[in-house]
């Protein structure tokens, strides 16, 4: 059999899982089910497929470093590629770009397209289904994986199956009465968003039905640039590319569509209610995480990130606490969380995009206190990592080492600081922070000045390729 190339689509923000999911720390990076993130679980799932090729992961530019860190945390992949989208587009351009990238490697492969943020409980069954789909793909089919429905759900699209593996039609998300009718007919299945086809077949089909998109993404790959593990699609070509889903661009139009149906314990975790459905519950139907105290509470999802959350007399309720936000809603209305996120974005609130802890390629920082002219952060630098050589126009910084060793460039001086030692960096001074040790470096940073935004950074040198003025 032709080798199978997994392509993991890891863009998007999962706004219905706010306040846990944020624009710069989206759903696929969250550890919602166990100790691994949804992205990591997806990557581990493909390792059960025989003779699988190294994965290709498509992500937004702003998620590239945390994605790389999570892949490397697994310790299972010596080789992988991360394709960067300089601007947000839909699933069809992402798949087109990945297909062309794989084609440029010089061989026709079977592409296995997987969203990074779905749950599949039955991993062994998943591998069997993929191999079955791959056989159809070798015969020229464009295969989608259909999920055996457990009820008349209105949040999923549906696939109407004909004879054998043939597809009659794809249906948009129905209302409840239509969904019940689909279930009663017995040949309608949830559209999982997982696809299998050869590179050759996909390119031929896209040339028929979406030639402009294919042309744009071929150009985006041809003019793209490589940066270590990363390959960046060329931005101007992507800007010209139509913004369509793979269902609309291809699956609803091709005459070669086929479906393989399975019960995989699948969910797209599109809402807090969907997460509650798949997680283990206590004797009262509650799902809890963190420091939670329940009294006379039933069928609730209660999650605490930082402090004690107590619930008394609640039913069918969602309560999620993070360091900077608390969400309370009926579980049945968890889809409406997206309305809150829309308002946050419209009002330019930081809770839309950031947590109080922000991850960087060198480690992370946590905002402990924030005021108009000063803020306090806890900075953690990984062993052997270093920040960019940089300068700020508007803020002064005071650093106090809490644990570990810091090598610091402060203007013309280079110094080593140890626990309880400190230094002061005036605005306009070129500086750099490095951890030369084998344990994490932690320090407290006090910033003060007329402007404290993260975009007040001029980078002169950076091991992560972020030179210039950027975030």
The 10s digit of each residue's pLDDT in 421-451 is 999 999 999 999 999 999 999 999 999 999 9
pLDDT of residue 467: 60
Mean per-residue pLDDT, 71-95? 91
- Is-contact 289 30, C-beta < 8 A? no
The answer to whether the predicted template modeling score (pTM) of the entire model surpasses 0.75 is: yes
- Is-contact 295 284, C-beta < 8 A? no
- Reported as a single tens digit per residue, the pLDDT across 453-462 is 888 999 999 8
pLDDT of residue 353: 87
- Kindly tell me the sign of the dihedral angle through the C-alpha atoms of 222, 202, 195, 138: negative
Euclidean distance between CA atoms 327 and 321, whole angstroms: 7
- Reported as a single tens digit per residue, the pLDDT across 237-287 is 999 999 999 999 999 899 999 999 999 999 888 899 999 998 999 999 999
3-class SS string, 4-58: EEEEEECCCCCHHHCCCCECCECHHHCCCCCCCCHHHHHHHHHCCCCCECCCEEE
- Binning the chain into helix, strand and coil, the percentages to the nearest 5 are 25, 35, 40
State yes or no: cis peptide before 19, omega within 30 of 0. yes
Average pLDDT, the chain: 91
**Same-fold call for 4-267 versus 357-469:** no
Mean per-residue pLDDT, 330-339? 92
**Pairing relationship of beta strands 4-9 and 110-115 according to DSSP bridges:** parallel
pLDDT at 470 over 70: no
pLDDT grade for 316, boundaries at 50, 70 and 90: very high
Q: Which two tokens stand for residue 427?
A: 């605005």
**H/E element holding 318?**
strand 317-321
Q: Name the least confident of 124-128, 215-219, 280-284, 318-322.
A: 124-128
pLDDT at 465 over 90: no
Euclidean distance between CA atoms 213 and 93, whole angstroms: 7
Instruction: Give me the percent of the chain exceeding a pLDDT of 90.
Output: 72
Mean per-residue pLDDT, 353-382? 90
Domain edges within the chain: 4-267, 272-338, 357-469
Euclidean distance between CA atoms 307 and 323, whole angstroms: 9
Euclidean distance between CA atoms 409 and 188, whole angstroms: 64
- For residues 137-148, one letter each, b for 16 or more C-beta atoms within 10 angstroms of the residue's C-beta and e for the rest, the string is beeebbbbbbbe
Angle formed at CA 292 by CA 344 and CA 13, multiple of 5 degrees: 30
Angle formed at CA 431 by CA 448 and CA 447, multiple of 5 degrees: 10
pLDDT of residue 76: 86
Euclidean distance between CA atoms 427 and 335, whole angstroms: 45
Euclidean distance between CA atoms 406 and 353, whole angstroms: 30
- For residues 157-185, one letter each, b for 16 or more C-beta atoms within 10 angstroms of the residue's C-beta and e for the rest, the string is bbbbbeeebebeebbeebeeebbeebeee
pLDDT at 469 over 50: no
Superfamily for 4-267? Answer: Spore Coat Polysaccharide Biosynthesis Protein SpsA; Chain A (3.90.550.10)
Residues 6+ apart with CB under 8 A from 188: 149, 158, 159, 160, 161, 171, 182
pLDDT at 66 over 80: yes
pLDDT of residue 71: 93
Residue 363 Rama label (left phi>0; alpha psi -120 to 50; beta): left
379: number of Cβ within 10 Å: 21
pLDDT at 228 over 90: no
pLDDT at 361 over 90: no
Q: Which two tokens stand for residue 57?
A: 């992961």
pLDDT grade for 468, boundaries at 50, 70 and 90: low
- Reported as a single tens digit per residue, the pLDDT across 92-120 is 999 999 999 999 887 789 999 999 999 99
pLDDT of residue 51: 81
Cα-based distances in Å from 9 to 38, 59, 338: 12, 7, 21
CATH topology of domain 357-469: Jelly Rolls (2.60.120)
């Amino acid at each position: 059999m032709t080798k199978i190339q997994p392509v993991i689509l890891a863009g998007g923000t999962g706004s219905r899982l706010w306040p846990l999911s944020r624009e710069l720390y989206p759903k696929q990076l969250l550890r919602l089910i166990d100790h691994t993130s949804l992205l990591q679980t997806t990557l581990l799932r493909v390792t059960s497929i025989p003779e699988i090729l190294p994965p290709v992961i498509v992500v937004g530019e702003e998620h590239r470093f945390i994605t790389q860190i999570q892949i490397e945390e697994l310790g299972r992949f010596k080789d992988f590629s991360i394709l960067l989208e300089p601007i947000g587009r839909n699933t069809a351009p992402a798949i087109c770009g990945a297909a062309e990238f794989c084609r440029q490697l010089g061989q026709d492969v079977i592409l296995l397209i997987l969203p990074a943020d779905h749950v599949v409980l039955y991993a062994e069954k998943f591998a069997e289904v993929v191999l079955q789909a791959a056989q159809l793909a070798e015969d020229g089919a464009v295969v989608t994986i259909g999920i055996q429905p457990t009820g008349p759900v209105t949040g999923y699209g549906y696939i109407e199956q004909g004879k054998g593996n043939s597809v009659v039609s794809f249906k948009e998300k129905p209302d409840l009465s239509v969904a019940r009718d689909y279930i009663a007919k017995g040949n309608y299945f949830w559209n999982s968003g997982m696809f299998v086809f050869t590179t050759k077949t996909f390119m031929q089909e896209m040339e028929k039905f979406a030639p402009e998109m294919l042309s744009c993404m071929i150009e985006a790959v041809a003019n793209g640039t490589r940066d270590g593990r990363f390959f960046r699609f060329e931005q101007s070509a992507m800007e010209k590319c139509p913004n369509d889903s793979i269902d609309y661009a291809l699956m609803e139009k091709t005459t070669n569509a086929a479906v393989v149906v399975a019960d995989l314990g699948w969910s797209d975790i599109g809402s807090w209610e969907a997460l509650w459905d798949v997680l283990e519950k206590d004797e009262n139907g509650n799902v809890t995480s963190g420091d939670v105290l329940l009294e006379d509470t039933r069928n609730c999802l209660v999650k605490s990130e930082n402090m004690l959350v107590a619930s008394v007399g609640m039913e069918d309720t969602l309560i999620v606490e993070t360091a900077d936000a608390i969400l309370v809603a009926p579980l049945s209305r968890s889809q409406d969380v997206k309305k809150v996120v829309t308002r946050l974005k419209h009002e330019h609130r930081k809770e839309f995009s950031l947590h109080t802890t922000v991850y960087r390629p060198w480690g992370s920082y946590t905002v402990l206190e924030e005021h108009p002219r000063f803020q306090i952060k806890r900075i953690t630098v990984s062993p052997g990592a270093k920040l960019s050589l940089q300068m700020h126009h508007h803020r002064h910084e005071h650093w106090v080492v809490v644990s570990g060793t810091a090598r610091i460039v402060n203007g013309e001086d280079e110094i080593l600081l140890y626990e309880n030692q400190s230094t002061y960096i005036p605005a306009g001074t070129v500086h750099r922070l490095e951890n030369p040790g084998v344990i994490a470096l932690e320090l407290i940073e006090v910033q003060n000045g007329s402007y404290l935004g993260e975009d007040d950074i001029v980078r002169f040198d950076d091991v992560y390729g972020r030179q210039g003025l950027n975030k």
